[in-house]
């Protein structure tokens, strides 16, 4: 299954789920990604000011990748159902 995210909050939810699935604390993930624990918290709460470079580092630490694809016809509410 492919997880979709269209908002900072949805990205944050995906990061949180992946972190917990791997058994990482926010501090452990921050160390792996080379950022502060506070940064992980901001990303997970959907802070829109998170830098793309930082998000990519966090995704790499979770062994995830960022892909750009054509937008599906699903509504934002449909995507929220995934979470």
Q: What's the pLDDT band for 77 if we cut at 50, 70, 90? A: low
Q: With b meaning 16 or more CB within 10 Å and e meaning fewer, what string describes 46-71?
A: beeebeeebbebbbebbeeeeeeeee
Q: What local confidence, expressed as pLDDT, does residue 58 receive?
A: 98
Domains and CATH numbers, the chain: 8-78 (1.10.260.40)
Encode pLDDT of 9-41 as tens digits.
999 999 999 999 999 999 999 999 999 999 999
**Percent of the chain residues past pLDDT 90, beyond the cut:** 72
**Mean of per-residue pLDDT scores for the chain:** 89
Q: What local confidence, expressed as pLDDT, does residue 80 receive?
A: 55
Total-model pTM: 0.82
């Amino acid at each position: 299954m492919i997880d979709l995210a269209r908002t900072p909050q949805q990205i944050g939810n995906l990061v949180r789920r992946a972190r917990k699935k791997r058994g990482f604390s926010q501090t452990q993930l921050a160390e792996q990604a080379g950022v502060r624990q506070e940064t992980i918290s901001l990303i997970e709460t959907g802070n829109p000011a998170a830098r793309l470079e930082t998000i990519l580092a966090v995704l790499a630490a979770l062994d995830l990748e960022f892909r750009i694809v054509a937008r599906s016809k699903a509504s934002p509410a449909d995507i929220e159902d995934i979470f």
